[in-house]
A and B are shown apart, each in its own frame.
Chain A
Amino acid sequence: MSTGAAPRACILHAAVLLLSAVGIAYQIALMRVFTIGQWHHFASMIISMAMLGFGVSGALLAIVRPWLRGREAAVLRWMAVGLSVGIVACYVLSQQIPFETLQLVALEGQWANLLALYVLLSIPFFCVSTCIVAAFMLAHDAIGKVYFFNMLGSGLGAPAAITLLHVAHPSLLPYILAPVAGIAFWLLSWERPRGKWVGALVFLALALFCWQGPRQPIRISEYKGLSYALHFPDAKILARQEGPLSVITAVSSKQIRETPGQISNYPMSELGELPEQVGLFFDAGAVSPVNRFDGNLDSVAYLDYVTGAVAYRVAPPNPAVAILGSGGGSDVLGALAHGARNVTAIEVDPGVFKLVRSELGDFSGHVYDRADVQPVLAEARGHLQSHDTRFDLIALPVQGSFMASTAGVNAMSESYLYTVEALSLYLSRLTANGVLAMTCWIDSPPRAGLKLFATAVEAAEHAGIQEPQRHLACIRSWNTATVLVTKSPLAPAQVEAIRTFARDRWFDLCYLPGLAEAESNRYILLDEPYYFRFAQHVLSSNREEAYSGTPFYVRPATDDRPHFARFVKWGQLPRVMREFGTAWLPYTELGYLALVAALVQSVLVSLVLIVVPLVTLTRRAQRGPVRRRTLACCAALGFAYLFLELAFIQRFQLFLANPVYAVTVVLTAFLTFSGAGSLWAHQRRLTARNQIAAASLAIAACAGVYLAVLDWAFAACAAWPASLKFAASITLLAPLAFAMGIPFPTVMQFLSDRHEPLLPWAWGINGCASVVGALLASLIAVHAGFRWTVAAAIILYSLAALAFWRLEPSK
């Protein structure tokens, strides 16, 4: 490899900015690719893979440090080429690996596949990281500045990726990003003899290949709904709608017969067959049907035979209805068929309305263009929060797919739609005789239905309902449960109407005022009347016993711990296995198990990455305490940064009402302002130890204030338009992010000045800690909640300051 002189500072900074932007954009692209190919819990694994690349790079550079001296510029250049090629190559190769999340428990080979994915997908991030460390080494007296451009690039890369996702399928992003990395190589070669031309050639070759070359589609898991549907002999893809929230595929087949629950007693010979349907598959997974509709509401008579229809037996006649998550429009038709005078159909994904109103407009009978239907493009909770309209019926239809729900792939995902605070809000938007109706997929052994009922009880209390037992009802089919909460106590006639509805459709009563145990568990037979007994228990004075006595985590989700689909209770696993057997376990808590598995893997890999260079460095003249304190300081900083980043991404989903926007805004704010912080750190206005101590104090103060005021601020600003919310979020996060940007470059500058051989190693430690931190943060958030995750980060920043205090001897 040829050596070379350092490029000019402006070129170096521009290249670092571009490479960092590509790195973060690639990360977001991969998150979307694997959300489509597998499920969205893979997103946290992608963060881990990125950080693994960073860790390996740091470790390797620490080992080859003597060789590297004088070759930094060449390494930087060639790693930029490596990145531009690797972005496409690693994506293409990753799609050849027959990885299946759901087979992890069944097939040993899948662990090897997962490991292969980890290694493969960490390569581009290895290249990015090596470029940045090489840039640090080249600009060893101005690390803060390089770090600033690194952070700024990352901060710009995130919104750039989201913008691209509006117009391009996620599988195209690697092909768009590769030439951008090629530009960085071109810049870095600019000052070399013939470098301009070589750089131009490389860039043009890359651009040409990416523009005209073959495209690798995403390999979609065989377990996902779209894969299954495409097996139908007459399956045809009618349309596809891309967007940052999801890729929606519209598939037609006579075999698509999706009902929002069981319709066992639907008299088909009398009322007619189900209407023809087109399935809208979201990210190749959950399906929402679009019914063929010609304006004749009799054609959707089947919608009176699902559990959710019980709400219309209780709601006032000709109700004003709000559907939270209207999807393909089945529930809208259901409302119209039950005489709703108007329906507010709230849907968060713009692609749904686009498809149903345009390509499927005639097929769907232009259901969203009717005078009595108001389509609202918004996140449901945010919309209700910001509007004071009252409804006679607010319906939350089943969300996602039955399979994803029962397989537990959503166990680690936040949902602010099903928290106590959310349900309480819905209740406040009901008319005096209004009804809140929530339907969820249920599972075996029973969990989700129990949790929904418990959440409804606590929400009713939260909303000031005095005797919730008189306001509640719950029925179930084999795969859905519907819980009703009424604003006024249920009248005897309403109770009787529910009874009759359930009996006629062979649904089981789980809770009704005055229900006897003998009346429950009649049609869909369980070993015991679990639902009835749990409901009685939750409504008694022994609620805590009901929660602790259930082998699953069925305590209601709250805004602090918004993981409705989390059911694992570690302490209860032996009992669960004794009572229900082991068969269900791997298949029901998959998201959780996958995260734990990734955590174990990342801890092992990280240990290797830290231990190996440590052994190498021992041979050199680094004193023990310096190594230990560097390790403690950099690891604590890595953990702490990720804890705060992920905690705020989770929290801002509530405010920005959309996970993709939350990721974008929080990443942009954190990275950009952390970059500004590092620029400030570069000016060395204080001593290094004072700089870190001051930053840690500022972080603790900011985070403390947020913990105190965030809920209030979110509620106060809920009605703001999205653009204003984005600006407010970034402004709000700026001081915290600025302070968070100070410690790490300060440590790196200190090491560069005093213990230069430790520089790449420290970078690697920080990367490894971030790998583990990203996963650990998810686990802490699930078990302890947002507040404790933030508190843990504050403690870690304090520990880092302490370690550094002892690392830098006072003068």
Chain B
Amino acid sequence: MLTFFSQRFEKCKAALILPTIAVLLAIPAYSDDEEDSAKERERMVSEDIARSEWWGERQAVKDEAVLKAMRTVPRHRFVPERQVDRAYGDYPLPIGYGQTISQPYIVAFMTELLKPQADGIALEIGTGSGYQAAILAQVVKKVYTIEIVKPLADSAAKRLSELGYANIETKHGDGYYGWPEHGPFDAIIVTAAASHIPPPLIEQLKPGGRMVIPVGSPFGSQYLFLIEKAKDGTVTQRNVLPVRFVPLTRSEEKEPAAKVKSEP
């Protein structure tokens, strides 16, 4: 019996001591991480987002509110743990279920295209990791976001709640039909390619509102379209950017195959 207790104690001791050490080690490490990630974000914004590429085919994002949001939102908290080291690189990363978190430039560029207003209401189709919603939440009053893959919708909702985003509402569902109960919206952003622009989304766009949507083959050639609804309800569409999402390999465990290439 004594031996038994002695063994249990040794196990408990190990169980108690190891996390304690880990926590002690983690405190400075965490603050270091935060500091490092802030630096990474700063570099990401200055080098990848706010600067035109030297051959002039990529416009710099200039909207100060958007740049501030990109500097603020901790992107590394939205990527899988094994991808944390690559969180601030200018490429998309796999988040599971065949989905990706878009490359930072595209996130910023699409957000800028929406011309977000501080009192505006935005709808996002394709929550994914929740990163785009978090960026939007910094620049508009309220964000509604829909994700079709249930586990992603659940994990994004949990993550956004943990990070304290109170102005984001997440729903599991088919984004094709939008979210009519909360419409019309000042801004609609679609982060998954569609073969055509869903008519319900056009209907739920407020006159004077803007929608950004990649259309084309979901895998392959796509164009980023800016849809503008005039006050009289007339809709114009403009192809602003050929984008190409190089898809990931089927297995989610594998490394991302490539990055998004994007040029206006």
Contact = CB atoms under 8 A, between A and B. Distances in A.
Given A222-B250, A403-B220, A584 B215 contact: no
B219 A228 contact: yes
B148 interface: yes
13 contacts: A100-B257, A227-B247, A257-B176, A257-B195, A259-B196, A262-B196, A265-B199, A402-B217, A406-B216, A478-B225, A522-B236, A524-B239, A587-B244
Interface of B: 55, 57, 98, 148-150, 174, 176, 195-197, 199-200, 202-203, 215-221, 223, 225, 234-239, 242, 244, 246-250, 257-258, 261-264
Nearest to A302: B199
A525 B236 contact: yes
A231 B237 contact: no
Given A102-B220, A267-B203, 17 more contacts: A223-B219, A223-B247, A233-B148, A264-B197, A264-B237, A265-B235, A268-B203, A406-B216, A407-B221, A523-B234, A523-B236, A524-B238, A526-B239, A582-B263, A583-B57, A583-B263, A588-B221
A525 B216 contact: no
A262 B227 CA distance: 13
A241 B148 CA distance: 30
A223 B250 contact: no
Contact of A107 (B148, B176, B257): B257
A106 B248 CA distance: 13
B239 A403 contact: no
Interface of A: 98, 100, 102-103, 106-107, 222-225, 227-228, 231, 233, 254-255, 257-259, 261-269, 401-403, 406-407, 443-444, 478-479, 506, 522-526, 581-584, 587-588
Nearest to A405: B221
A169 to B, nearest CB: 20
Contacts of A522: 236
Report whether over half of chain A's contact residues are helix, strand or loop; otherwise say mixed: loop
Given A406-B216, A406-B221, A478-B223, A523 B250 contact: no
Nearest to B98: A231
A658 to B, nearest CB: 27
Most buried by A among B98, B235, B242, B250: B242
Contacts, number: 131
Interface pairs A-B: 9 shortest CB-CB: A403-B217, A583-B263, A403-B220, A406-B221, A222-B247, A231-B98, A266-B199, A268-B199, A525-B238
Contacts of A107: 246, 257-258
Contacts of A263: 196, 199
B257 to A, nearest CB: 7
Contacts of B263: 581-583
B246 to A, nearest CB: 6
A523 B216 contact: no
A265 B247 contact: no
Contacts of B225: 478
Given A265-B202, A581-B263, A479 B258 contact: no
Contacts of B250: 222, 227
Contact of B248 (A222, A261, A268, A479): A222
Most buried by A among B244, B249, B262: B244
B239 A478 contact: yes
Given A106-B261, A264-B202, A523-B236, A233 B221 contact: no
Contacts of A584: 242
Contacts of A506: 234-237
Given A263-B199, A264-B197, A264-B235, A581 B221 contact: no
B219 A523 contact: no
Contacts of A523: 234-237
A581 B57 CA distance: 7
Contacts of A102: 220, 246
Contacts of A406: 216-217, 220-221
Given A264-B237, A524-B239, A228 B200 contact: no
Contacts of B199: 263-268
Nearest to A407: B221
A584 B199 CA distance: 28
Contact of B237 (A98, A259, A403, A525): A525
A255 B192 CA distance: 12
A338 B195 CA distance: 24
B114 to A, nearest CB: 17
Nearest to A261: B196
Given A222-B249, A402-B217, A444 B196 contact: no
Nearest to A100: B257
Contacts of A223: 219-220, 247
Most buried by A among B148, B196, B261: B196
Nearest to A262: B196
A328 to B, nearest CB: 15
Nearest to A443: B221
Contacts of B238: 524-525
A479 B213 CA distance: 14
Contact of B258 (A103, A258, A407): A103
Contacts of A106: 244, 246, 258, 261
Nearest to B193: A228
Contacts of B235: 264-265, 506, 523
A263 B148 CA distance: 22
Contacts of A588: 221
B125 to A, nearest CB: 12
A524 B262 CA distance: 21
Contacts of B239: 444, 478, 524, 526
Contact of B215 (A233, A479, A526): A479
Contact of B261 (A225, A268, A407, A583): A583
Contacts of B196: 257, 259, 261-264, 479
A255 B126 CA distance: 13
B220 A98 contact: no
Nearest to B237: A524
Contacts of B247: 222-223, 227-228
Contacts of B217: 225, 228, 401-403, 406
Most buried by B among A231, A261, A265, A407: A231
A444 B262 CA distance: 14
B216 A479 contact: yes
B174 A583 contact: no
A402 B195 contact: yes
Contact of A222 (B216, B219, B262): B219
A440 B237 CA distance: 19
A24 to B, nearest CB: 33
Contacts of B150: 233
Most buried by A among B195, B247, B263: B195
Nearest to B176: A257
A443 B225 CA distance: 13
B219 A227 contact: yes
B215 A403 contact: no
Nearest to B202: A264
A223 B234 CA distance: 35
B220 A254 contact: no
A444 B195 contact: no
Given A254-B174, A255-B174, A403 B221 contact: yes
B199 to A, nearest CB: 5
A478 B237 contact: yes
A341 B221 CA distance: 39
B218 A228 contact: yes
Nearest to A445: B242
B192 to A, nearest CB: 10
A264 B197 CA distance: 6
A683 B12 CA distance: 95
Nearest to B246: A106
A302 to B, nearest CB: 9
Given A106-B246, A478-B239, A407 B195 contact: no
B221 A587 contact: yes
B216 A103 contact: no
Contacts of B203: 267-269
Contact of A583 (B98, B149, B242): B242
A233 B149 contact: yes
